[in-house]
Amino acid sequence: MIRVLIADDSSFMRKILSDLFALDNRFEVAGTAINGKDAIEKVLKLKPDVLTLDVNMPLMDGLQALEVIMKECPLPVVMISSLTRSGAEETIKALELGAVDFINKTGGSISRIDTISDEITGKCYAAARANLQSVIRYTEHNKVGRSLPESFFSAVSLGKLIAIGTSTGGPKALQQVITRLPADLPCGVVIVQHMPPGFTKSLAERLNQLSAVSVKEAEDGERIKPAHVYIAPGNYHMRVRYDTAGGIISLNQDPPIGNHRPSVNALFESVVPFGRKLVSVILTGMGNDGMHGMENIKKVNGYIIAEDKSTSVVYGMPKAVIDLGIADEVLPIDKIADAIVNAVKRK
């Protein structure tokens, strides 16, 4: 029986989570905490096997509490908060501090938490069985730019993933890349192409006709499958969340990022938790969308491929990444598909 402590300032959320765990015979609710300070005290007193920890709490927030817990009384922790959405700063900070995994509140709302109940119990079960010493060693020794150890990610069963971002000149570039991917590609591909609504579906259908892999316009809540390619719909941000079974697509119409919706940065930042199991690609395009996401990908030792100037229709987005010195390979467009396949084999 796994004893779980629930830390959340919302009484409604504590009740929802308590009921959820009560329905799973693998778990026993050891107790609840109302803020970070209370969570630390309850961890010391109750000695639970796993802790669910909200980020946004009064007196002491979840990240502050996590830092103390991992130093003083380490245990497997799963963050549950809308703030851990998309693998951005809060998620990376939580992982750096020692959280084993994280869960996004559906749409940022506690009222729909029941729709991800399997994800919550699945991740907490996996966390309770994780190699905590590996997490602690990473927490103690991690520095900016140092990679996350493979055992850290395998503890939460992350699969491999390919993420591609492109803009001006992208449809032609994608045709040269996607049509050369093999039918037995062992992981999925997610793509953001700057393009208005309506056009992305046509692009996906055209690529599907020409390719050995399956290509489609992405749908919200869709699970990512091997040898499948998912293109973000025009006017929708596409992010990836994950559970113990792999990646799941999340679409939304949050405000544009850098005047873009879909945003390459939004996609890239969301896939950061895949760490060294990620192959990320930046192709032709104007501006620097994707650069900041690539910086975070590099910090977790994801593999980065950038299109060379010689074949870029607009040498903006690839140049921004290349100029940072973080690209593992810089290649002409006709060499990128093979590089992706080889990188996936090495992951």
Model pLDDT, residue 157:
47
Question: Was domain 2-150 assigned CATH 3.40.605.10?
Answer: no
Q: Is 81 a catalytic residue?
A: no
pLDDT one-digit tens code per residue, 63-78: 999 999 998 899 999 9
Q: How many CA atoms lie within 13 A of 217 on its CB side?
A: 17
8, 38, 289, 312: which one is catalytic?
289
SS3 label, residue 148: coil
Q: What is the CATH number of domain 161-346?
A: 3.40.50.180
- Active-site position among 86, 167, 211, 250: 167
- Of the candidates 8, 194, 214, 263, the residue annotated as catalytic is 194
Domain ranges of the chain: 2-150, 161-346
Residue 244: per-residue pLDDT: 59
| Separation of alpha carbons 304 and 280, rounded Å | 5
Q: For this structure, is 141 an active site residue?
A: no
167 classed as catalytic: yes
Matching CATH topology for 2-150 and 161-346? yes
- The one-character DSSP state at 290 is T
Evaluate whether 142 touches 177 at the Cβ level (below 8 Å): no
Name residues of the chain where pLDDT drops below 70.
Answer: 82-92, 95-96, 105-114, 131-157, 243-245, 347
Decide: helix, strand or coil at residue 28: strand
